């Protein structure tokens, strides 16, 4: 019988790519999510019955253990960018990560891969970064042989970074951002999946790997690159920190007074703290090279999925050519 991997958060942005690659490796894939009925898109990744979404609450021992039964490997992709209800940073990224690792060790699981993030720091003033570091510590204490991946900002078809800002260009001639001088090392989502698969297959030594793409650019430079891809001229405005702080506070208050019915998907005060620090691979850190992976350039991939934000969508190149022809007549 083929081996089984349980992927916690396996229907999310990163998890779905890992699930697809594990299915191609011939493994059975159990996708553990809060809402299995919303995760049916993972089923076609393999032959009938090979990839199955199942219910799991990462905050509950019994739930985590039940979906891990019989697994040869586990991957934890669960994380949150904003706290909502009981899904706080500590509950999900610290306690949840530790729970998966502890139960994996108890059940004799052979391999574990944990997705963290560059910037994880136990001393950080950001609850997100602090909880990520606490999660890493909990994983390593319970499952010392775990492979921990720390990606920089991740891009890809379903990302909430370039897609979000490209969408904003439809609304205004200005594109406001916070932390415009902060440096990032964008990494392609499928490259992160390849690294995770290497961990599952035992092709990576235990420990922490920082994953960044071949390019390091500031937030403002990334926005200029995006604008070039979507053929739009917009003025990128890097907001002063005090202005961004007021805006983030306003969005946080709106989420609070609405009893979290209105989720702050724009900018939180905690995210603003992270935007004050560079998000790049540290000198001397293990990374893609140690996994035998050549990271993907950003430009060609952005063109593959951001075309829908061009003024004429997929026909934008054709429209531009027609205008040039009319101008030549």
Which letter does DSSP use for residue 110 in this model?
Answer: S
Which residue's structure tokens are 């609450």? 57
Number of H helices, E strands in the chain: 13, 13
CA distance 133 to 68: 24
| DSSP calls for 289-312 | HHHT--PPPHHHHHHHHHGGGSTT
**Total-model pTM:** 0.94
CA distances for 31 relative to 56, 239, 262, 307, 309, angstroms: 9, 40, 28, 30, 31
Q: Which of 161, 257, 249, 164 has its CA nearest to residue 213?
A: 161
Give me the domains of the chain, ranges plus CATH numbers: 4-156+186-212+279-295 (3.40.50.720)
Long-range contacts of 265-272 (CB under 8 A, 24+ apart): 265/82, 265/164, 267/178, 268/81, 268/82, 269/245, 270/82, 270/126, 270/127, 270/128, 271/81, 271/82, 271/128, 272/178, 272/179, 272/241, 272/244, 272/245, 272/248
Structure tokens at 83: 């706290």
Which of 132, 149, 10 has its CA nearest to residue 77?
A: 10
Q: What is the pLDDT along the chain (329 residues), one digit of tens a residue?
A: 689 999 999 999 999 999 999 999 999 999 999 999 999 999 999 999 999 999 999 999 999 999 999 999 999 999 999 999 999 999 999 999 999 999 999 999 999 999 999 999 999 999 999 999 999 999 999 999 999 999 999 999 999 999 999 999 999 999 999 999 999 999 999 999 999 999 999 999 999 999 999 999 999 999 999 999 999 999 999 999 999 999 999 999 999 999 999 999 999 999 999 999 999 999 999 999 999 999 999 999 999 999 999 998 887 776 766 666 666 54
Q: What is the pLDDT of residue 312?
A: 87
- Non-local (6+) Cβ contacts of 76 within 8 A are 8, 9, 96, 97, 100, 101, 112, 113, 114, 115, 139
Q: Are strands 4-8 and 28-33 parallel, antiparallel or unpaired?
A: parallel
User: Of all helices (H) and strands (E), which one includes residue 28?
Assistant: strand 28-33
* Residue 325: per-residue pLDDT: 63
What pLDDT does residue 321 have? 63
pLDDT of res. 323: 62
């Amino acid at each position: 019988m083929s081996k089984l991997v349980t992927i916690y958060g396996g229907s999310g942005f990163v998890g779905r790519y890992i699930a697809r690659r594990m299915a191609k490796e011939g493994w059975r894939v159990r996708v553990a999510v809060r809402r299995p009925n919303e995760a049916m898109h993972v089923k076609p990744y393999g032959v009938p019955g090979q990839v199955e979404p199942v219910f799991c609450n990462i905050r509950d021992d019994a739930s985590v253990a039940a979906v891990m039964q019989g697994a040869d490997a586990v991957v934890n992709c669960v994380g949150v960018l904003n706290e909502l209800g009981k899904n706080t940073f500590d509950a999900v990224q610290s306690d949840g990560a530790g729970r998966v690792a502890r139960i994996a060790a108890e059940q004799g699981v052979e391999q574990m891969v944990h997705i963290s993030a560059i910037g994880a720091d136990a001393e950080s003033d950001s609850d997100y970064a602090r909880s990520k570091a606490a999660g890493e510590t909990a994983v390593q204490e319970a499952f010392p042989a775990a492979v921990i991946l720390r990606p920089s900002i991740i891009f890809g078809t379903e990302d909430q970074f370039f897609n979000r800002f490209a969408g904003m260009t439809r609304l205004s001639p200005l594109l406001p951002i916070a932390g415009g001088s902060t440096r990032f090392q964008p990494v392609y989502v499928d490259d992160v999946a390849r690294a995770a698969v290497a961990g599952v297959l035992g092709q990576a030594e235990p420990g922490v790997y920082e994953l960044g793409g071949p390019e390091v650019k500031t937030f403002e430079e990334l926005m200029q690159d995006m604008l070039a891809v979507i053929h739009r001229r917009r003025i990128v405005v890097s907001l002063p920190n005090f202005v961004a702080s007021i805006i983030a506070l306003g969005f946080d208050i709106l989420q609070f007074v609405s009893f979290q019915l209105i989720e702050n998907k724009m900018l939180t005060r905690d995210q603003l703290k992270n935007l004050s620090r560079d998000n790049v691979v540290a000198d001397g850190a293990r990374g893609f090279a140690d996994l035998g992976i050549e990271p993907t350039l950003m430009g060609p991939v952005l063109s593959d999925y951001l075309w829908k934000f061009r003024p004429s969508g997929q026909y934008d190149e054709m429209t531009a050519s027609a205008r040039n022809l009319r101008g030549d007549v």
